[in-house]
């Protein structure tokens, strides 16, 4: 069986986790959580990092601190894993779905500009959707599959319309736009260390920010908003969202290997691009100009992608279809979807993700390529 994307635990994971077990520092306080935060802030080029129980929790806390209120709209690309749409909904807000570019599969920033010009207005430093009268305080650009949104165009546009940016950088740890790391552009950047990500803590996430006050507040909210070191006095509704030390221990070991993992992901993508280029109908994800992608999850357009998936599964090769676009899910199908030709729908129905764990061998990649050629022969 060649799996899609599995953890690569080849470093100091056992040693660091054992250290937690030997010393009983297994829960939400411990030196590995602090180290994980320091390493993440330094790697992503921000001043503050707050470790969370998962990436969805990181998004939830960021939305709270960006001032989202019940009844608001939050702009989100229609192509995304469902987590940010769910986090928006936890707030009593709704996603406002925006179509993506045909080649890069990232939020269409030109379409966004048209939307803001034609359908929105600012009043007293707040952006409103004219038709519904609802506020639009936040946009979540999702950096899909390790590629990135055109941040050079997005950031001034968001600033002009007084919209705070929360980057969903959960898939793009190690990617850069003009050498600036994913997650370091917005008011907040959110990371995930879920099992299939480029590094993993089993489950975990991180809030990145350059705003020290907000970083402090994020830590407060993720630790039940306990305001007194001794007394159980909580000054607001808090959350039990802190990453635990035993998982952070794994994370520190994974961070040590991250540059090597990124290098391997890039090699795997090159092998697939070369080996598949002659397949009729094949088309890889194009990288946004000025972006260096971490090549997290190799995904491409294939003719008859569903049949190809079944063919490969029968040969013990695990692949995955792309996410069903948000506007086709029952929880979000009544939300506003701004698009011209539903590019997201087309991408969904033609894309397939291929095995690309960092510990996949070149021979296994060659076997996947060979089987794909056989399917089309």
Ligand X SMILES: Cc1ncc(COP(=O)(O)O)c(C=O)c1O
Of 5, 40, 44, 54, the one binding ligand X by CB under 6 A: 54
Q: Are 150 and 109 in contact (CB under 8 A)?
A: yes
Q: Residues touching ligand X: how many (CB under 6 A)?
A: 14
Distance of closest approach, residue 323 Cβ to ligand X, in angstroms = 8
Helix 362-376 to helix 305-313 angle (10° resolution) is: 120
Give the residue with the Cβ less far from ligand X, 55 or 183. 55
Q: Is 254 an interacting residue with respect to ligand X (CB under 6 A)? A: no
What are the CB-based long-range contacts (under 8 Å, 24+) for 195-198? 195/6, 195/7, 196/4, 196/5, 196/6, 196/297, 197/170, 197/171, 197/173, 197/296, 198/146, 198/171, 198/173, 198/174, 198/258, 198/261, 198/262, 198/265, 198/294, 198/296, 198/358
Stretch of 167-175, 235-243, 254-262, 336-344 contacting ligand X, by CB under 6 A: 167-175
Of 37, 106, 168, 335, the one binding ligand X by CB under 6 A: 168
**Binding string, 317-346, against ligand X, x = CB under 6 A?**
------------------------------
User: Alpha helix (H) ranges present in the chain?
Assistant: 13-23, 31-44, 55-65, 83-90, 109-119, 151-160, 212-222, 245-276, 305-313, 343-350, 362-376
Give the residue with the Cβ less far from ligand X, 209 or 271. 209
Chain positions 112 to 151 lying near ligand X, rule: CB under 6 A, are 142
Of 55, 95, 181, 251, the one binding ligand X by CB under 6 A: 55
Chain positions 61 to 90 lying near ligand X, rule: CB under 6 A, are 80-81, 83-84
Q: Is 56 an interacting residue with respect to ligand X (CB under 6 A)? A: yes
Q: Are 126 and 160 in contact (CB under 8 A)?
A: no
Q: Is 167 an interacting residue with respect to ligand X (CB under 6 A)? A: no
Residue numbers at the binding site for ligand X (CB under 6 A): 54-56, 80-81, 83-84, 142, 168, 170-171, 192, 194, 205
């Amino acid at each position: 069986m060649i799996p899609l994307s599995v953890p690569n635990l080849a470093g100091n994971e056992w040693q660091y986790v054992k250290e937690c077990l030997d010393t009983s520092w297994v829960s939400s306080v411990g030196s590995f959580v602090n180290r994980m935060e320091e390493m993440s802030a330094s790697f992503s080029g921000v001043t503050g990092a707050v470790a969370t129980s998962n990436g969805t929790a990181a998004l939830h806390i960021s939305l709270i601190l960006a001032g989202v209120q019940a009844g608001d709209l939050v702009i989100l690309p229609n192509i995304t894993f469902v987590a940010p749409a769910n986090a928006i909904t936890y707030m009593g807000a709704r996603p406002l779905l925006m179509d993506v570019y045909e080649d890069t599969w990232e939020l269409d920033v030109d379409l966004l500009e048209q939307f803001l010009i034609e359908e929105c207005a600012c009043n007293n430093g707040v952006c409103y959707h004219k038709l519904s009268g609802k506020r639009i305080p936040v946009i979540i650009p999702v950096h899909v599959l390790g590629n990135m949104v055109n941040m050079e165009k997005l950031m001034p546009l968001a600033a002009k319309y007084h919209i705070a940016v929360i980057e969903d950088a959960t898939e793009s740890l190690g990617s850069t736009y003009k050498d600036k790391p994913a997650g370091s552009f917005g008011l907040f950047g959110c990371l995930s260390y879920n099992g299939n990500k480029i590094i993993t803590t089993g489950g975990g996430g991180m809030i990145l920010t350059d705003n020290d006050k907000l970083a402090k507040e994020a830590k407060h909210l993720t630790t039940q908003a306990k305001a007194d070191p001794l007394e159980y006095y909580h000054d607001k509704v808090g959350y039990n969202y802190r990453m635990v030390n035993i998982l952070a221990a794994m994370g520190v070991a994974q961070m040590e290997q991250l540059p090597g993992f990124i290098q391997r992901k890039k090699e795997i993508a090159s092998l697939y691009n070369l080996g598949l280029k002659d397949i009729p109908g094949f088309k890889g994800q194009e990288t946004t100009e000025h972006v260096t992608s971490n090549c997290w999850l190799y995904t491409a357009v294939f003719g008859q992608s569903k049949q190809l998936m079944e063919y490969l599964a029968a040969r013990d090769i695990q692949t995955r279809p792309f996410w069903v676009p948000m506007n086709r899910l029952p929880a979000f199908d009544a939300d506003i979807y701004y698009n011209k030709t539903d590019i997201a729908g087309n991408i969904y129905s033609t894309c397939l993700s291929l095995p690309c764990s960092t510990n996949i061998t070149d021979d296994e990649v060659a076997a996947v390529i060979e089987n794909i050629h056989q399917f089309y022969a």
